[in-house]
Amino acid sequence: MLKLKIIGNDDTVYDLEVEEGSTVMENAVRNGVPGIVAECGGACACATCHVYVDEEWFEKVGEPEPMEEDMLDFAVDLRANSRLSCQINMRPEFDGLTVRVPDEQG
Ligand code: FES
């Protein structure tokens, strides 16, 4: 199991133990994290699973793939550390990852 911290849009902190291979979005939905809508169910077709990756982690998690980048254009309040949480698969190097849910989804 890997550690994942998600801060909801109401500032509630969710310290989760998650399975390798699961996505950040799946874990957010499963644990009822407020602010993750995930309308398309993880198909990279909605941008309502937008999160900000903690600055400390952004380099490790890396830049979005071109398809995700196109979809991110629909996200509200896009920042340099924006990612779609359904496109972040948990793997051992991401143990301890922290992401924050924006106030609003697109
Ligand atoms: S859930 Fe739709 S893009 Fe992530």
Q: What is the pTM of this model?
A: 0.96
Ligand 1 site, residue 37, Cβ cutoff 6 A: no
**Ligand 1 atom with least separation from CA of 85:** 4
| 56 Cα: distance to centroid of ligand 1 (angstroms) | 23
Q: State how far the Cα of 83 lies from the Cα of 99, in Å rounded to an integer.
A: 9
Host H or E run for residue 89 = none
| 1 Cα: distance to centroid of ligand 1 (angstroms) | 23
Give pLDDT tens digits for 22-42.
999 999 999 999 999 999 999
| 60 Cα: distance to centroid of ligand 1 (angstroms) | 21
Q: What angle do CA 6, 82, 22 make, to 5 degrees?
A: 50
DSSP letters along 94-105, please?
Answer: GTTEEEE--S--
pLDDT along the chain (106 residues), means of 10: 97 98 98 96 97 96 96 95 98 98 91
- Chain center to CA of 3: 14
Class of domain 2-100: alpha beta
